[in-house]
């Protein structure tokens, strides 16, 4: 567990030493400064939970230093101390963002209590922010709906792995509920009262991922206007969920591997090693083993993350659960949209049971929400389902009709020729813009670049429009 860090600033050496001894005995990590300039220099190197600061200091007084702290490290709580009790200075300090104001001489128990209350309030505020990111009810296994044999096997596995500290890799197609499973594991583990923090590795620009994960010091890069904690620090004693882990850039894979091995890291622009106790649950809808073979994902990191793998079945492989899920979503959206729809018509249920759901549970949820919004009767009818499904079904294509001659074929060459042709068609359709071509082919950008290099097609695409 990370100790709360307190910065003590006072121009009197005896007062600094007294406060240092007292606070260390209380279990805090303490740093000392004799003036405002030293305070700001220390804050460039580290993040402090609380600053205990004299108002009258040489070089840069307490009020001016307070203003700088509020700009550069807004998360730091500041308590002002002075021997010159004055209502004016107290009001000014509070207006500038000080948490409280103490006058000398003070009682030791009084200052201990003020510090304790301030840090507890900060902790509660952080917990409230985290709780708002979670749905109102706790995630239990019963929130993952399904009665099929594959889902019953999943429940048994979740019960076994949740109490452990082991890193877990969740695999499955998009829409199968990987984040829901990750939350269920966390909230059924000994870490359930600690933070659950999520990062979608594919949604953050490559240049910002390191700062997002490990935090940064003020001035570490152009937009680093204040020191910031990273998600690993926020998740201490809890769980971090790394979604779309296959999208993590190779350079960041090296840094994540170090955290997995040593349980410590440095903030961007920082020099201090920060130790944390964090369980890592990662997820992907890609074949990570194939990515390892293609040198797009580090093998050593794969084995660190893949201690226990949980494979989520696509909805088409557990059709027994479709009606259960459909009724669940029907009830949910009928309440949310103030509708009185209580049942599915037999024809509507037949249509739902016969669809393949390339988008899995998430697609079924969207289908039901759309149909409920359009429905005007007390029964969900086929009419409001078919308008959506008829648009989707023609887009689904069967296998390519190819004949195999008597002498056989070179399968790898045929596949490579087909892949090369589709790459060229996608680039032609997007006028050489690789990112758009990758989206057309439903592959990520790094996979697109790899394939273009494989077939020597890089020159054919406009790299300026990547």
Token digits of residue 170: 């969740």
Tokens 């700088």, located at residue: 68
Max Cα-Cα span within the chain: 100
Segment 6-61, tens digit of pLDDT: 999 998 899 999 999 999 999 999 999 999 999 998 988 888 999 999 888 888 88
pLDDT at residue 395, rounded to an integer = 42
* pLDDT above 50 for 439: yes
Which part of the chain has CATH 3.40.50.300?
150-311
What mean pLDDT comes out for the span 120-128? 68
Domain 411-465 class? mainly alpha
Higher pLDDT, 93 or 374: 374
Determine the pLDDT at residue 136: 34
Q: How many CA atoms lie within 13 A of 197 on its CB side?
A: 24
Q: Which residue has the tokens 């109490």?
A: 163
Is the Cα dihedral 262, 266, 268, 269 positive or negative? negative
Site of tokens 């993040």: 47
| CA-CA-CA-CA torsion sign (451, 456, 457, 463) | positive
Question: Where do we find the tokens 């890799």?
Answer: 169
Classified as helix, coil or strand, 32 is strand
How many of the other CB atoms lie within 10 Å of CB of 55? Answer: 22
Strand pairing category for 343-344 and 196-200: unpaired
Q: Taking residues 362-384, report their average pLDDT.
A: 90
Q: State the Cα torsion 333-336-340-343 to the nearest 10°.
A: 20
- Looking at the chain, the domain(s) classified CATH 1.10.8.60 span 316-395
> Which runs of consecutive H residues, i.e. helices, occur in 288-410?
288-293, 299-305, 322-336, 346-354, 360-374, 383-392
Whether the CB-CB separation of 252 and 212 falls below 8 Å is answered with no
Residue range 169-184: mean pLDDT, rounded? 93
Give ranges for CATH 1.10.10.60 in the chain.
411-465
User: According to DSSP H, which parts of 239-307 are helical?
Assistant: 250-262, 288-293, 299-305
**Size of the chain, expressed as the number of residues it contains:** 466
Distance of alpha carbon 218 from alpha carbon 75, whole angstroms: 13
> Among all chains, which residue has been given the structure tokens 């680039």?
427
Three-class SS state of 199:
strand
Residue-level pLDDT at 165: 92
Confidence at residue 392, expressed as pLDDT on a 0 to 100 scale: 58
User: Does residue 105 have a cis bond before it (omega within 30 degrees)?
Assistant: yes
Tens-digit pLDDT profile for residues 216-252:
988 888 878 888 889 999 999 999 999 999 999 999 9
- The tokens describing 451, both together, are 């394939």
pLDDT of 129 > 60? The answer is: no
Tell me the pLDDT tens digit for each residue of 299-323: 999 999 999 999 999 999 998 899 8
Mean pLDDT within 428-455: 83
Specify the 3-state DSSP secondary structure of 256.
Answer: helix
Phi-psi region of 11 (alpha: psi -120 to 50; beta: other; left: phi over 0): alpha
Average pLDDT along the chain = 84
- Average pLDDT rounded to a whole number, residues 406-421: 80
Q: Dihedral sign, CA of 10, 12, 15, 20?
A: positive
What CA–CA distance (Å, rounded) separates 60 from 37? Answer: 6
3-state secondary structure of 29: strand
Q: Which of 32-46, 116-130, 334-348, 425-439 has the lowest mean pLDDT?
A: 116-130
Task: Report whether CATH 3.30.1490.20 matches the domain 150-311.
Answer: no
Whether the Cβ atoms of residue 4 and residue 112 lie closer than 8 Å to each other? no
CATH value of 5-132 in 3.40.50.2300, 3.30.450.30, 3.40.50.700, 3.60.70.12 = 3.40.50.2300
How far apart are the C-alpha atoms of 204 and 141, rounded to whole Å? 30
Residue 291 is predicted with a pLDDT of 92
What was the pLDDT predicted at 138? 41
Torsion region of 97: left, alpha or beta (phi above 0 gives left; psi -120 to 50 gives alpha):
left
Whole-number CA gyration radius for the chain: 29
**CA–CA dist 440, 206 (Å, integer):** 22
User: For residue 423, is pLDDT > 70?
Assistant: yes
Q: Does the domain at residues 316-395 carry the CATH identifier 1.20.1250.20? A: no
pLDDT tens string 390-411: 655 544 444 455 667 777 777 8
Q: How many CB atoms lie within 10 A of CB 57?
A: 23
Name which of 138-152, 268-282, 384-398 the model is least confident about. 384-398
Give percent of the chain with pLDDT exceeding 90: 43
What single-letter DSSP state applies at residue 195? -
Q: Has residue 1 got a pLDDT over 60? A: no
199 vs 243: CA distance, rounded Å: 6
């Amino acid at each position: 567990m990370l100790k709360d860090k307190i910065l003590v600033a006072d121009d009197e050496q005896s007062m600094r030493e007294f406060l240092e001894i007292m606070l260390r005995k209380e279990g805090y990590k303490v740093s000392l400064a004799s003036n405002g300039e030293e305070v700001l220099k220390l804050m460039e190197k580290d993040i402090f939970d609380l600053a205990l600061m004299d108002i009258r200091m040489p070089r840069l007084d307490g009020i001016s230093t307070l203003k700088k702290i509020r700009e550069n490290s807004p998360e730091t709580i500041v308590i002002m101390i002075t021997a010159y009790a004055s209502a004016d200075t107290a009001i000014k300090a509070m207006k500038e963002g000080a948490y409280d104001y103490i006058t000398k001489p003070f009682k030791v128990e009084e200052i201990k209590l003020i510090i304790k209350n301030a840090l507890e309030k900060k902790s509660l505020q952080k917990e409230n922010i985290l709780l708002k990111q979670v749905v109102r009810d706790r995630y239990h296994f019963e929130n993952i709906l399904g009665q099929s044999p594959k889902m019953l096997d999943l429940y048994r596995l979740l019960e076994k792995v949740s109490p452990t500290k082991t890193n877990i890799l969740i695999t499955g197609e998009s829409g199968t509920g990987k984040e829901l499973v990750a939350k269920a594991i966390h909230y059924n583990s000994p870490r359930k009262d600690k933070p659950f923090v999520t990062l979608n590795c594919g949604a953050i620009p490559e240049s910002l991922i390191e700062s997002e994960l490990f935090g940064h010091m003020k001035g570490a890069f152009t937009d680093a206007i204040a020191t910031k904690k990273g998600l690993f620090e926020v998740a201490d004693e809890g769980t971090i969920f790394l979604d779309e882990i296959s999208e993590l850039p190779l350079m960041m894979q090296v840094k994540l591997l170090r955290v997995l091995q040593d349980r410590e890291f440095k903030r961007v622009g920082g020099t201090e090693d920060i130790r944390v106790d964090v369980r890592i649950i990662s997820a992907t809808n890609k074949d990570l083993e194939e990515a390892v073979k293609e040198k797009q994902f580090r093998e050593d990191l794969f084995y660190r993350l893949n201690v226990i793998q949980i494979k989520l079945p696509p909805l088409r492989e557990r059709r027994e659960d479709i009606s259960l899920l459909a009724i669940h979503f029907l009830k949910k959206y009928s309440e949310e949209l103030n509708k009185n729809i209580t049942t599915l018509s037999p024809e509507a249920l037949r249509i739902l049971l016969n669809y393949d759901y390339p988008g899995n549970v998430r697609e079924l949820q969207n289908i039901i929400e759309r149909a409920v919004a359009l429905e005007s009767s007390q029964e969900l009818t086929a009419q409001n389902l078919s308008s959506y499904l008829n648009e989707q079904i023609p887009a689904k294509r069967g296998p390519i009709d190819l004949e195999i001659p008597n002498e056989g074929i070179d399968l790898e060459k045929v596949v490579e020729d087909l892949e090369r042709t589709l790459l060229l068609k996608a680039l032609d359709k997007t006028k050489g813009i690789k990112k758009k071509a990758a989206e057309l082919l439903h592959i990520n950008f790094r996979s697109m670049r790899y394939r273009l290099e494989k077939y020597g097609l890089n020159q054919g695409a406009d790299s300026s429009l990547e």
